[in-house]
Amino acid sequence: MTSLVQHITIDCADAYKLAGFWSEVLGSPMSDDDEPGDPEALVDSPRGALLFVTVPESKSIKNRIHLDLRPEGRTRDEEVERLLALGATPVGDHRKPNGRGWVTLADPEGNEFCVECSAGERAALTGTRLPVTADDVSLAVRLAADTLAGSPAQDWRVPAGGLTWDCWETVEHLSDDLFAYAVQLGPRRPPQDREVPYRYGSEREGGPGNSIFANPDAGVPGLLQTLEASGALLTAMVRTTPSDVRSHHVFGLSDPEGFAAMGIVETLVHTYDVAAGLSLSWAPPQDLCDRVLARLFPDAPDDEDRWTVLLWSTGRADLPGRHRVTSWKWHGAPLDR
């Protein structure tokens, strides 16, 4: 047996205040139990928890261990500016003319950390295609659920953008998509010529055919829980399924990365549909759009805004000088890196 890292512990003068800074940096919540003046405070990040502990002595020398940050949805330089605005201070600039390098900053108590290039920037520098990952699925679903949870609308039975389904039905359909992609990877021998035989049905003529339906009595919070739960299932299956596994999809056999990308595209574009129906703003990260475009739409234009191109590729937007897409399919088969 071996050990796991429970959390990284950081000594500081004000645990609650410093944890608040790092909560903003990582986009992760502090523990509900933490209050100002507490001797300890926890930031529970998906990549590893940070525990801040108040100690009497002050920091006196450079840290022997520090955190390296990789931005998500921003470039390195954009993230540096964001962190400076949050209260970080510059320590060292190690950026190079060719785009490589990093920036060293310090948090409000002087603890050094580094900001490196984003995954997209690294891929551009090396000329490689970035794979779509389980973390990408988790990110897409989290952003979608957070956006939809912010709607003040009481009536989710209004049309979802240009679809014939209403907003409630569209979220159910999205939950069902994520569930369906997850279960295709589940059997010991994934089916090669059909879907896993769950029973599908519609609640009304013209409505989506699903296996997953939300209990209306649970309201919108319950509906969004089904979305998060289905997203978590797909995230787990993509993370744990060997990359050489293949399973059936109507557009051809696909691999775990392909099913991850399909789930993300469904999440991004159907959140767009629902957001339009509920008058919400929705613009997912450009680098996430770029990764799924490269995986599922390898022939899509690469010289336009990535979110707009994804909407165009799925028949939801126009691109200057190009015909509107009225019929589309993605490339589910595995790609060479």
Provide the 3-class DSSP secondary structure of residue 91.
strand
In DSSP terms, 103 is beta-bridged to 93, 115
Kindly tell me if the per-residue pLDDT of 124 is higher than 80: no
pLDDT more than 70, % of the chain: 99
| Tokens, residue 294 | 């490269």
Return mean pLDDT, the chain.
93
Q: Alpha helices of the chain — where are they, by DSSP H?
A: 15-26, 76-86, 119-126, 134-149, 167-184, 219-240, 256-278, 286-296, 306-313
Structure confidence by residue, pLDDT tens digits, 137-195: 999 999 999 999 999 988 999 999 999 999 999 999 999 999 999 999 999 999 999 99
Give the mean model confidence (pLDDT) for residues 298-312.
Answer: 92
Provide the pLDDT for residue 269. Answer: 98
CB atoms within 10 A of CB 153: 14
Kindly tell me if the per-residue pLDDT of 47 is higher than 80: no
Kindly tell me if the per-residue pLDDT of 337 is higher than 60: no
Give the mean model confidence (pLDDT) for residues 273-300.
Answer: 94
Q: Quick one: three-class SS letters along 98-109?
A: CCCCCEEEECCC
pLDDT more than 90, % of the chain: 78
Separation CA 89–CA 4 (nearest Å) = 32
- Per CATH, the number for 134-313 is 1.20.120.450
Give the mean model confidence (pLDDT) for residues 213-236.
Answer: 97
Length of the chain: 337
Give the mean model confidence (pLDDT) for residues 262-287.
Answer: 96
Give the mean model confidence (pLDDT) for residues 215-242.
Answer: 97
Provide the pLDDT for residue 118. Answer: 87
Banded model confidence at residue 336, pLDDT cuts 50, 70, 90: low
Kindly tell me if the per-residue pLDDT of 5 is higher than 90: no
Kindly tell me if the per-residue pLDDT of 250 is higher than 80: yes
User: DSSP character for 217?
Assistant: G
Kindly tell me if the per-residue pLDDT of 335 is higher than 90: no
Q: Are 234 and 178 in contact (CB under 8 A)?
A: yes
- Residue boundaries of the structural domains of the chain: 8-125, 134-313
pTM of the model: 0.74
The domain over range 8-125 is classified in CATH as 3.10.180.10: yes
Give the mean model confidence (pLDDT) for residues 66-81.
Answer: 92
Q: Are 333 and 284 in contact (CB under 8 A)?
A: no
Closest CA to 227 of 155, 159, 157, 170: 170
In single-letter form, the type of residue at position 105 comes to L
Give the mean model confidence (pLDDT) for residues 20-42.
Answer: 93
The residues near 98 (Cβ < 8 Å, ≥ 6 apart) are 125
Closest CA to 26 of 77, 70, 63, 65: 70
